[in-house]
Each structure stands twice: as structure tokens, then as C-alpha cells.
Structure 1
Amino acid sequence: MELWAIWLIVAAVLLVIEMMTLTFYLLWIAIGAVVAAALALFVTDSFVWQVLPGCAVVLVLTTFTKPITRYFRSSKGFSDAVDELVGKPGIVLEPAEEGKPGIVKVGNETWSAVSITGEPLAQGDTVVVVERGSATLRVDKWKGEV
């Protein structure tokens, strides 16, 4: 199989994974793979001269788009779906212990979660989302009525 075709397959796989994660980091790597594919198809057979420009494109995109995405996230009217979970109740599906996050179902979604008080969360406990972390929700045991 030609190297340019392998680069395009890598780019397609990265794009599919990106659509599932919505982080934009894999998107930049996929674009770098497309650049490497174009170089492999039209310019050079050297693997090194395909990888280096591809990596340069990834670095430039990551460096220059981070401030732009930070600006849009902080702009008035922007609402992240995870931020809307704060204050909502959830059910513990997998227990959370000291240093190990558990799994919590909030609405129709499951999330990794840790207790803000540090106390363990047992399966079936009702919790409320207090704040969001980068990859986990911070929850507290529900003290009201369900």
C-alpha cells in the first residue's frame, strides 16, 4: 500500500475519533496527516520529509488556535454543555473511593466523578454535581429529597 494512502487512513481514523471526543487536538493531528499525505503523493518519498512538515502544521495549529478557542469559551453567551450539569442530581453507578473516581449517571449521560468531600460514594447513592473538572465531575451526596 502506498504511504500517502496510509496517511489518509490515519487522518480519517483521527477525524472519527475527534468527532467522538470534540477536543480539537486530534483534528490538528489529522490535518497534519493530510499534509503528510499530500507531500507523499506529490513531492517526496522520504518519510522524514513527510513527518516533519506534518508535525510543524500540528504545532502551528495547536499554538495559534488555543488562544482563539480560549477567547470563544470566555465570550459572553458561550455555554459549555458540561457547565449546565452543575446543580443537577445524579446516581452513582460505580462507587468512588479515595483517589479513584467512580461513574455517575446525570440525566442520560455517564461521567467520571469524584466526591468533593473525599468521602466514598456507594453504588446507588444520589449525588448533586457541584462543579466540573477537566475530565471528571465533582459531586457531593444529595442532602435533599429525591
Structure 2
Amino acid sequence: MSESPYSDQADALARWSLVQALWPPTLLVVSCVAHLLFTPAADGMRGNAAQRVALASGLTVFAFSAILLFDALLFRLMASYEDEQRGGAAVDDILARMRLKPTPPETRSLAARSAGTRRLVLRQRIALAVFILASGLPLLTAPP
């Protein structure tokens, strides 16, 4: 059985979503480990506003990554169907059964679903940028 162009596109979106879900949290973990290793203990223990912002934005990045992982799984499910309508209906059915979204009156296209995932990636990148800025702010304002 040959794959359809729709199925290939949904599978590619699943792989892309998975990559987008995994590298930002990896960057956060590496950044936090580096901070723990290279920041003196006295400075690392102070809970200033920049650290709280970094923590909140870091947790936000992890939350968006979890949603993107879920999207990747949904795209994989869609890719398992030969036509877009049936794949989208299967995703809508699962989301309704999980009580995450009500069943829509009409099935959304793969393009509409991928646009939603791209918006999530943009929000994740904004949270990541806030994390980087908040994490670096103490380094920029520290006395020499």
C-alpha cells in the first residue's frame, strides 16, 4: 500500500512538531545546569525578579512542548489514514472523547491544524526568548 501525499505531509508535520517540542526544553535544561555549575552559590540562592521570570517562562516552554508532543501524536494518527477527511475526523473524535474539545460541525483541514501548531511554536519561542533574557539579565547587570 503506497502512502498518499496527504499522509506524507501529516507524517512530516508530526516529525517537525516532535523536533520543535524537544529542542527548547533541552536548551533550558542545559542552561539551568550551566547556571548551577558556573554561578557562585551565594548568587544562585537569591530569588530575584529575573530568576522568577526565568522560572515562569521556562515552565511555560515546557508546557508548550508538552502540547506540541501531543500535536505530533495527533499528526501521526492523521497520517495513518489515507484521506484527510477521515484522519481529521479521527483526531476530532479522540479530542471529543478526551473532553479536550467539542466535536466541531465540520472537520478542519490539515493546513488549518498545522497553522495552529505553528502558532504554538511561535508562543513557545516567545517564552524561550523571555527565559533567555531573564536568565542573562543578572549577568549583564552584575558588577565586574
> TM-score by structure 1 length?
0.32
Q: Greater CA radius of gyration, 1 or 2?
A: 1
More helix by share: 2
Specify which structure has the bigger relative contact order, considering alpha-carbon pairs within 8 angstroms and separated by 6 or more residues.
2
More strand by share: 1
> TM-score by structure 2 length?
0.32
